[in-house]
Copies of this chain bind each other. A is one copy, B any other.
Amino acid sequence: MSAHPAKNSHATEHAGTEPANKKQKKDEYVLYYWGGIPGRGEFVRLAFEYAGVPYTNMQDSAKLLPTITDAAKCGHPPHFAPPALKLPSGRFLSQTPAILNYLAPKLGLAGDKEGEEAELERSSINQLVLTALDLTNETHDTHHPIASELYYEDQKEAAASRAKSYRKNRLPKFLKHFENVLATNPEAKTHGGAYLIGSSTTTADLVLFHVLSGVSYAFPKRMAALEKSGKYKHVFALKERVANEKAIKEYLASDRRRKFNNNGVFRHYPELDGEE
């Protein structure tokens, strides 16, 4: 349902590429994603920002899809939708979880195990990323339950029903899961930090941080009530911890960080929110 922007997502898009930071070099990573929204590209940006690895945003909507869907331009296999990442070698990779699983060991975001244990740790991180992205999809579908090609206004009634179920059942179920993961992490206990796995920041932590930020933007009343319940202390501690990691803190304060808005995955429609 969600691997593409909604109909009006390009509204505030900037054309062309923009440098991610001053260290940018030619032939580095290039992220192909819509401009004007954090969107799913943000999960990839956060990994680069945390690691301090330069990347460029390619967000020219006239070239974006024609490039990544044409094997003559992007190589084989072509892609279904952005985000797609052009690697320094020129090869393209798409699908947020596939991009993150590829990058994680290269960016130091796949834990600190070695040999076969490293592969297992990376797979568990992949698992956690996928579950956090499932929550992203379900959050998106609260405002687009019927058809991604229609406007929200054309599916408001179904959206209200889906958001009600999301607030009451699905969102707490996901938070309970991540609280369980965080509270039972034996390595985080000894280090006193809120890490989903191991005792260092992984792509899973960054993805969960962004999903929680997005859900807080979209459903502020519900998230405030869930935080106040005291049932998800580790989850909200992770959100706080990641926001204050040096590189992330700097990024969030920079103009590289895009603001959430109602063209994106996470949208705030007051009528869909509620304390319960």
A binding-site residues for B, Cβ under 8 Å = 1-3, 69, 71-72, 76-80, 87, 89, 91, 93-95, 97-98, 101-102, 119-120, 123-124, 126-128, 130-131, 134, 137-138, 141, 145-150, 155, 158, 161-162, 165, 169-170, 174, 177, 180-181, 184-186, 196-197
CA distance A78 to B2 in the complex (A): 26
Contacts A102-B119, A119-B102, A197-B77: A71 and B165 contacting too (C-beta < 8 A)? Answer: no
Say yes or no: A98 contacts B130, CB within 8 Å.
yes
Residues from chain B with a CB closer than 8 A to the CB of A79 are 127
The complex places the Cα of A148 from the Cα of B126 at a distance, in Å, of 24
Closest Cβ of chain B: how far from A147's Cβ, in Å?
4
Chain B residues whose C-beta falls within 8 Å of the C-beta of A119 in the assembled complex: 102
- Within 8 Å by CB of A145, from B120, B158, B180, lies B158
In contact, B71 and A180 (Cβ under 8 angstroms) = yes
CB atoms of A98 and B77 under 8 A apart: no
Contact of A130 among B71, B97, B174, B184 (CB under 8 A): B97
Chain B residues with Cβ below 8 Å from A94 are: 127
Q: Which residues of B are found within 8 Å of A89, using beta-carbon distances?
A: 120
Query: Of the candidates B87, B141, B148, B174, which one forms a contact with A80 in the assembled complex, judged by CB atoms under 8 Å apart?
Result: B174
